[in-house]
Amino acid sequence: MDDLSTQVWAVDALGAMAHETRLSVFRMLVKAGPDGMIAGAIAEHCGVPPSTMSHHLATLERAGLVRSERESRLIRYRADFPVMRRLLAFLMQDCCQGMPEMCSALMAGLTCEPLN
C-alpha cells in the first residue's frame, strides 16, 4: 500500500473512532480480547438502543477496526488487533526522527493496565 492510500485508510479508521460511543465500543472490544462480545451485550453495556448500536458497529466494521461473526441468532464482534497495530504503527512511524530516546517516555508509559 502506498503512502497516500495508507493515509486515506488511517483517516477512515480514525474517523470511525471519532465518536464517543464508537471509541468506547472499540476500547471495550480491545479489552474483551479475542473472545469479543455479543452485539446485545455491547449495546446494553453502553446504554444505547440496539438499532443505534448496530449503526456504530457497522461503521467500525466498515473501517476494518472490528470483525463480526454470526453465532446462531447472535452476532459476536471482536477488535481486529492486526489492524489496530497497523494504525498505531502508522501514527508512530515518523516518531523520534531517528532518535529513539525522544519516544522512550511514551514507550515506557505503555502498559496493559486499565487507565482510571
List the CATH number of the domain containing 27.
Answer: 1.10.10.10
Q: Which residue has the higher pLDDT, 3 or 50?
A: 50
Within a domain: 39? yes
92 pLDDT exceeds 90? no
Are 57 and 77 in contact by the 8 Å Cβ rule? The answer is yes
Within a domain: 96? yes
74: containing domain: 3-108
Are 13 and 83 in contact by the 8 Å Cβ rule? The answer is yes
Within a domain: 68? yes
CB atoms near residue 16 (< 10 Å)? 21
Q: What's the domain count of the chain? A: 1
Within a domain: 27? yes
Angle formed at CA 112 by CA 15 and CA 45, multiple of 5 degrees? 60
Which of 27-36, 48-57, 70-79, 97-106 is the least confident region?
97-106
CA-based max dimension of the chain: 52
